[in-house]
A and B are shown apart, each in its own frame.
Chain A
């Protein structure tokens, strides 16, 4: 049976070339970059500096503007909490879109508790933020605006260029979470007027446990971890050298190859998108064209998401659901089961929110794998519908009405 992984938005497989670049830093080169008085420390410092330059090059930044972190969550926390504090006591207002990742949304909890006012910008049916709404939301006391570059659940690419210009005019620090987009589509800080950009290595064929925050020169950010003077004082703690090296290697590859990857993903994504159209009562989510390459998301009437994913997995097809029902299976109690805030935000009726499915393709996927998914889906949909009382009622209504 073919095993096809279509959940690259959750993580990507490590590129073997990245692994080779990392390998020496597990065993032979174990130095601490802060102990650069000797050869081992110097080798580590050079490796971290090189990775910093490689990550910077991916987004058109200077090496000195890249702070390594443990991943996107830490970068987002540092951006939101650090920039809010860095803006000074007079600025107590933060603006975010309603489709931001949990690591932005939940970082607002301590801010609210500390008396900050938060404005949450609504999105349209495609998940897009309206730049005019941003303009209206920004105030003299706004410390930070945070809008993601692309949404992992529905694939929509946000208009960060016009939004960034508005933030710049207003003199508001602008944070862009580029976790889902960096390494897949161009992210250029020479073009996007962002002050802070979140990057995650394992989302572009790098290792888990490595991320970065771009800080435009002059941006005021207060640290969230306290200790030594690593990472220019923004992030204390010995660097995860092998992972940082891996992030640099992955950034280098992405910079060189992302155009070819995107072409491949766009082609496969179109095959999948078009093939799905034969399934009755299937609805695509997100923007039809302004979306990540190879990202296909949808929901199917009268079909519950987790059940569909379990059957797909049995057929060797691994995809994801925006449904809290499946994503929070390891939650502590049923309070953790909430409908996806993103799907709610784009107006998907709550009675089918549990049916949302995300296929996120990667550079290693093949046309045969896409075909296997398209072959498996109609039968599973039919099988689950045959079991569903809501579908039975629908059919009876059709007979009566027809």
Chain B
């Protein structure tokens, strides 16, 4: 069901977000954005033998921010660390059937969140 400026996919992920929550003793945690700018995302990763085996998020933000977060977690689960790192905001936006021009930053936030979480993982697991 499409509503207003968003695609049906965005609305689906906004109304029924996948993987909301947190992971106890996560292997990598990334936090990006700032509530002052209108959105903030925290991403938790469980990584096993170089694979993202679980991903959960919490997001404060608009419909596009929540949908981008939800879509990102779907996209990275089952991917290798390198594959997850290669995901760009464009991939996220495309997977959502596009975002309004003023909402592209929400998909950028998703891309930054996964990079930030993977950096955290690399720091905790050197070599």
Residues of chain A having any CB pair with chain B under 8 Å: 302, 304-307, 310-311, 313-314, 323, 325-326, 328-334, 336-337, 339, 350-352, 354, 386-392
CB distance from A78 to the nearest CB of B (A): 30
Q: Which of B59, B65, B104 has the most CB of A within 10 A?
A: B59
Evaluate contact between A389 and B102: CB separation under 8 angstroms: no
- Tell me the bound Cα distance from A222 to B105 in angstroms: 44
Check if B127 is an interface residue, CB within 8 A of chain A: no
A389 touching B63 in the complex, CB below 8 Å, given contacts A313-B3, A328-B102, A329-B5 = no
CB distance from B123 to the nearest CB of A (A): 20
Evaluate contact between A325 and B20: CB separation under 8 angstroms: no
- Tell me the bound Cα distance from A352 to B99 in angstroms: 23
Evaluate contact between A325 and B38: CB separation under 8 angstroms: yes
Q: Which of B22, B35, B36, B59 has the most CB of A within 10 A?
A: B35
Interface residue from B4, B58, B62 paired with A387 (Cβ < 8 Å): B58
Number of A-B contacts (CB under 8 A): 85
Taken residue by residue from 101 to 125, chain B's Cβ proximity to chain A (1 for < 8 Å, 0 otherwise) reads as 1111100000000000000000000
Evaluate contact between B41 and A389: CB separation under 8 angstroms: yes
Evaluate contact between B4 and A329: CB separation under 8 angstroms: yes
| Main DSSP-derived SS at the B contact region | mixed
7 A/B residue pairs, CB under 8 Å, sorted by A:
A305-B62, A306-B62, A307-B66, A310-B63, A332-B102, A354-B35, A392-B22
| Complex interface: chain B residues within 8 A of A330 (CB) | 5, 100, 102
| Complex interface: chain A residues within 8 A of B100 (CB) | 329-330
| Complex interface: chain B residues within 8 A of A302 (CB) | 60
Check if B54 is an interface residue, CB within 8 A of chain A: no
Interface residues of B in 5-23 (CB under 8 A from A): 5, 11, 14-15, 17, 20, 22
- Tell me the bound Cα distance from A331 to B34 in angstroms: 21
B105, closest chain A residue (CB):
A334
Q: What is the total number of residues of chain B having a CB less than 8 Å from a CB of chain A? A: 32
Evaluate contact between A304 and B17: CB separation under 8 angstroms: no
B103, closest chain A residue (CB):
A329
Check if B78 is an interface residue, CB within 8 A of chain A: no
Q: A304-B39, A330-B5, A339-B38 are in contact. List 8 more A-B contacts (CB 8 A).
A: A304-B65, A310-B4, A314-B15, A325-B62, A326-B62, A329-B102, A334-B102, A389-B60
| Complex interface: chain A residues within 8 A of B38 (CB) | 304, 323, 325, 337, 339, 354
- Tell me the bound Cα distance from A389 to B39 in angstroms: 10
CB distance from A350 to the nearest CB of B (A): 5
Interface residues of B in 76-112 (CB under 8 A from A): 100-105
A304 touching B62 in the complex, CB below 8 Å, given contacts A310-B14, A334-B104 = yes
Evaluate contact between A336 and B60: CB separation under 8 angstroms: no
CB distance from B15 to the nearest CB of A (A): 7
CB distance from A32 to the nearest CB of B (A): 39
CB distance from A105 to the nearest CB of B (A): 20
B20, closest chain A residue (CB):
A387
- Tell me the bound Cα distance from A320 to B104 in angstroms: 22
| Complex interface: chain B residues within 8 A of A329 (CB) | 4-5, 100, 102-103
Check if B40 is an interface residue, CB within 8 A of chain A: yes
| Complex interface: chain A residues within 8 A of B3 (CB) | 310, 313-314
Evaluate contact between B40 and A389: CB separation under 8 angstroms: yes
Q: Which of A307, A311, A351 has the most CB of B within 10 A?
A: A307
A351 touching B36 in the complex, CB below 8 Å, given contacts A334-B105, A388-B58, A388-B59 = yes
| Complex interface: chain B residues within 8 A of A323 (CB) | 38
| Complex interface: chain A residues within 8 A of B104 (CB) | 334
Check if B31 is an interface residue, CB within 8 A of chain A: yes
Evaluate contact between B101 and A388: CB separation under 8 angstroms: no
| Complex interface: chain B residues within 8 A of A389 (CB) | 31, 40-42, 58-60
Interface residue from A337, A352, A388 paired with B102 (Cβ < 8 Å): A337
Interface residues of B in 41-59 (CB under 8 A from A): 41-42, 58-59
- Tell me the bound Cα distance from A77 to B120 in angstroms: 54
| Complex interface: chain A residues within 8 A of B103 (CB) | 329
| Complex interface: chain B residues within 8 A of A305 (CB) | 62
Evaluate contact between B36 and A350: CB separation under 8 angstroms: yes
Interface residue from A313, A333, A334, A392 paired with B58 (Cβ < 8 Å): A392
| Complex interface: chain A residues within 8 A of B22 (CB) | 392
